[in-house]
Amino acid sequence: MSKEKMSGMFGFEFLDDVRRMNKRQLYYQVLNFGMIVSSALMIWKGLMVVTGSESPIVVVLSGSMEPAFHRGDLLFLTNYQEEPIRVGEIVVFKVEGRDIPIVHRVLKVHEKDDGHVRFLTKGDNNSVDDRGLYAPGQLWLEKKDVVGRARGFVPYVGIVTILMNDYPKFKYAILACLGLFVLIHRE
């Protein structure tokens, strides 16, 4: 009796559920799993269309915008081309030769009459502007460098992503657990 209780406590009992399933139920579970994955993908791609940004949700990875944004905070981005870029805005931009986009604030804007705009950014927590972060020889950012502009903010939510990036094993463990749970869980 006590042995059974122990195995129940560590969750091995649920394997009985799988044993009791017939083929139909198993197919159903696999399809269900596929549904979850594809709807997540659909939501992501749908958000891309609505916001016009290639990555509508980003996690803050550095402390260069503290105390506004800390590591692990979540930002919602939009990138509507008709909206002009102005100082004070928080933009997410890509720099040639860097994989990870940077979230910083616009410090200077020079716009020509044909709409061509050059701008310079700076992190709130940095003492100098971003020219040292740009590609060698690059002095200004242009509209094509922008991935999005920050519109909404939720704290802490992205901390899981940071943990997963820092500890890849943790990522695989979580993915395996979720996958297993969805596949064998029976309502």
Partner 1 sequence: MNTFLSRLNTIFAFTLSVMAGLTFCCFLTTAFNEHKAPVYIGTGKAIVKNVPDYSATREKNDLGFVVFDMQADLSRIFNWNVKQLFLYLTAEYETKDHVLNQVVIWDKIIKRGENSVLDYRSSNTKYYFWDYGNGLKGNNNVTLTLSWNVIPNAGTLPKIRGEGSHKFKFPNEYSTNRL
Q: What is the SS3 assignment for 82-126?
A: CCCCCCCCEEEECCCCCCCCEEEEEEEEEECCCCCEEEEEECCCC
Identify whether 130 is a catalytic site residue.
Answer: yes
Please tell me whether residue 15 binds partner 1 under the rule CB under 8 A.
no
Q: Among 4, 86, 165, 170, which residue interacts with partner 1 (rule: CB under 8 A)?
A: 86
Identify whether 113 is a catalytic site residue.
Answer: no
Considering 64, 73, 110, 185, which one is annotated as catalytic?
64
Q: Which stretch binds partner 1 (CB under 8 A): 5-13, 19-27, 29-37, 39-47?
A: 5-13
**Residue 39's CB: how many other CB atoms inside 10 A?**
11
| Token pair in block for residue 180 | 């297993």
Please tell me whether residue 45 binds partner 1 under the rule CB under 8 A.
no
Please tell me whether residue 89 binds partner 1 under the rule CB under 8 A.
yes
Residues 6+ apart with CB under 8 A from 116: 142
Please tell me whether residue 110 binds partner 1 under the rule CB under 8 A.
yes
Q: How far apart are the first and last CA of the chain?
A: 26
Q: Which stretch binds partner 1 (CB under 8 A): 31-39, 92-100, 111-119, 168-176?
A: 111-119
Beta bridge partners of 74: 59, 154
Q: How far apart are CA 112 and CA 134, in angstroms?
A: 22
Is the Cβ of residue 45 or residue 80 nearer to partner 1 in the bound state? Answer: 80
Residues that bind partner 1 (CB under 8 A): 8-11, 13-14, 17, 67-69, 86-90, 105, 107-113, 118, 124, 131, 139, 150-155
